[in-house]
Amino acid sequence: MLPAEVLKLAQQELCDWHGLGTSVMEISHRGKEFIPGGRGGRTGFRDLLNIPSNYKVLFCHGGGRGHSRAFR
């Protein structure tokens, strides 16, 4: 179960992400507002899993099937 503070923050930012007046789901993944978060997500993921710097972290759509087809 998520802590109440996390749920409240998610609720607030659903309609007004980082004070932009819009949801994170509505902004472009290539927009200047989103890019720093994407970099932070990649860095946090790398730190969490202790991924060495000589490996690339890729976020790909398609799940396991897409991944399997990409590397055949």
* 50 and 70 in a common domain: yes
* 50 and 19 in a common domain: no
3-state percent helix, strand, coil for the chain, nearest multiple of 5: 55, 0, 45
* 72 and 39 in a common domain: yes
Which residues fall within 8 angstroms of residue 59, CB to CB, at 6 or more apart? Answer: 38, 41, 42
* 42 and 15 in a common domain: no
Task: Convert the pLDDT of each residue in 30-44 to its tens digit.
Answer: 888 777 766 677 888
Mean pLDDT of all residues belonging to the chain = 81
* 46 and 22 in a common domain: no
Per-residue buried b or exposed e for 48-63, using 16+ beta carbons within 10 Å of the residue's own CB: eeeeeeeeeeeeeeee
Range of the domain at 3: 1-27
* 15 and 39 in a common domain: no
| Number of domains comprising the chain | 2
Low-confidence ranges of the chain (pLDDT < 50): none
* 43 and 19 in a common domain: no
Q: How far is CA 50 from each of CA 36, 45, 46, rounded to the nearest angstrom?
A: 21, 8, 6
